[in-house]
Amino acid sequence: MSEATPIPEQCRYVAVDQAHNLSIEQGTVPTPRTGEVLIKVHSAGLNRADLLQRKGLYPPPEDASPIMGLEVAGTIAALGEGVSNWQVGDRVCALTHGGGYADYAVAPTGQCMPIPTGFSKGEAAALPEALLTVWHNLFQRAGLKAGERVLIHGGASGIGTLAVMMCAALGIKVYTTAGTIEKCQALEAHGATCAINYNKDDFEAVLTGLGFNNKIDVILDMIGGDYIQKNLNLAAPEGRIVNIAYLKGFKAEVNFAPLLMKRITMTGSTLRAQTFAQKSVMVEEILEHIFPLLESGKLKPLIDSIYPLEQVEQAHERMQSGQHMGKIILKM
């Protein structure tokens, strides 16, 4: 391991007790293994998976850090063996294998990306999880192409907002759902062709009224429940539906006749369960196809709020409330 500046033996991290309470504790700074870098964390992005992990509903893989936090931005503090494509001091954002809620975290080099020109570290911390989730599900799994129509549920979330803006920047017609008029207006201002307030209107009825029944090419759904049937009804022939979460439940009574008649593909994924090699391919493709949009300023994540590490409890409450729009960031 090569390193430039002294690294402390201990650093702060967010701990969870058996009652799911959070506290800031001191722990040993992790050591990067072969093919990993140690990052001095400036900012970490919050994800709904963190809330589930806190409650014991999303246990980390056996080889992952038990500390919450799936994405960070900061500077490289040390290199593990065999790392030649990064240098100590490089500004980086990364998808971690857990451990992001801490002053120091490790990440495989294949899951690291340079911080785009003009981005703060806080903005960069909002990128990794959303970029890989959107790219993998919409473009790798669903094969979304310019000129197609996409429906993105949960449009005001960190993933949803970036998905809306990314697709709009790539010339794709974007339809989305959100929970307030204000959120819908903001999503349309950020590139959505039409944003539907699901607390006021039935999105299936609205899109059918616009003439898009059987004409939505790709649907990204994190809601599930009764949305499953509505998605099938709206999907175009040869349409693709990708589920990444089921906030309204994993179970539903569904008439699958549209799937047969329209030859619909239904699929789903979680990012954390995929291999480092698979995530490395996602990063390579993102660097090729999406980073030019980030570097040019045509695409930037929407930041809802930034909390100091000491206010991690309030940050979680903000996400749990569903009032946020865009990413919530922890600042070390």
In whole angstroms, give the CA distance from residue 320 to residue 135: 25
pLDDT given for residue 22 in this prediction:
98
Joined tokens for residue 39: 């990052």
Q: Looking at the predicted structure, is the pLDDT value of residue 13 above 70?
A: yes
Identify which of 29, 111, 89, 24 has the alpha carbon closest to the alpha carbon of residue 65: 29
Task: Say if CB 101 and CB 183 are below 8 A apart.
Answer: no
- Residues 82-114 have pLDDT tens digits of 999 999 999 999 999 999 999 999 999 999 999
Q: Do residues 227 and 248 lie in contact, with contact meaning Cβ atoms separated by under 8 Å? A: yes
Q: Which of 159, 163, 182 is CA-nearest to residue 174?
A: 163
Q: What is the mean pLDDT of residues 183-198?
A: 98
pLDDT at 6: 87
Over residues 157-180, the pLDDT tens digits come to 999 999 999 999 999 999 999 999
Q: How far is CA 313 from CA 39, 46, 206, 306, in A?
A: 23, 11, 38, 13
List, for residues 241-292, the tens digit of each pLDDT value: 999 999 999 999 999 999 999 999 999 999 999 999 999 999 999 999 999 9
125-140 as b/e: b if 16+ CB within 10 A:
bbbbbbbbbbbbbbbb
Whole-number pLDDT of residue 3? 52
Q: Is the pLDDT of residue 5 over 80?
A: no
Sorted by sequence, the CB contacts under 8 Å of residue 121 that are 6+ apart come out as 42, 43, 73, 74, 91, 93, 115
Alpha-carbon span 295 to 297, nearest angstrom: 6
Given pLDDT bands bounded at 50, 70 and 90, which one contains residue 1? low
Assign 317 to helix, strand or coil.
helix
| pLDDT greater than 80 at residue 4 | no
Beta strands in the chain (DSSP E): 2-3, 10-16, 22-28, 36-45, 71-79, 91-95, 104-108, 112-114, 149-152, 173-178, 194-197, 216-221, 235-243, 265-268, 303-308, 327-331
Least confident of 3-12, 35-44, 135-144: 3-12
CATH placement of domain 130-268: 3.40.50.720
CATH topology of 2-127+272-331 equal to that of 130-268?
Answer: no
Burial class of 111 by CB neighbour count within 10 A (0 to 12, 13 to 18, 19+): buried
Mean pLDDT (the chain) is 96
- Please give the pLDDT value at position 167: 98
Task: Specify the pLDDT at position 2.
Answer: 52
Return the pLDDT at 115.
98
Q: How far apart are CA 215 and CA 257, in angstroms?
A: 16
Condensed to tens digits (0 to 9), the pLDDT of residues 197-241 reads: 999 999 999 999 999 999 999 999 999 999 999 999 999 999 999
Residue with tokens 């009804």: 233
How many angstroms separate the CA atoms of 279 and 284, rounded? 9
CB burial readout 154-173, b (16+ within 10 A) else e: bbbbbbbbbbbbbbbbbebb
For the chain, the structural domain boundaries read 2-127+272-331, 130-268
76 touches 92 (CB < 8 A):
yes
2-127+272-331: CATH topology: Quinone Oxidoreductase; Chain A, domain 1 (3.90.180)
The helix (run of H) or strand (run of E) holding residue 280 is helix 276-289
Rg value, the chain, Cα: 20
Q: Residues with Cβ < 8 Å from 142, sequence gap 6 or more? A: 218, 220, 240, 242, 265, 267
pLDDT at 279: 98
| CB distance 154 to 130 below 8 Å | no
Q: Nearest to residue 187, comparing CAs of 224, 208, 213, 162?
A: 162
Other residues' Cβ atoms within 10 Å of the Cβ of residue 323: 14
Q: What is the pLDDT of residue 179?
A: 96
Structure tokens at 52: 């589930």
305-317: pLDDT as tens digits = 999 999 999 999 9
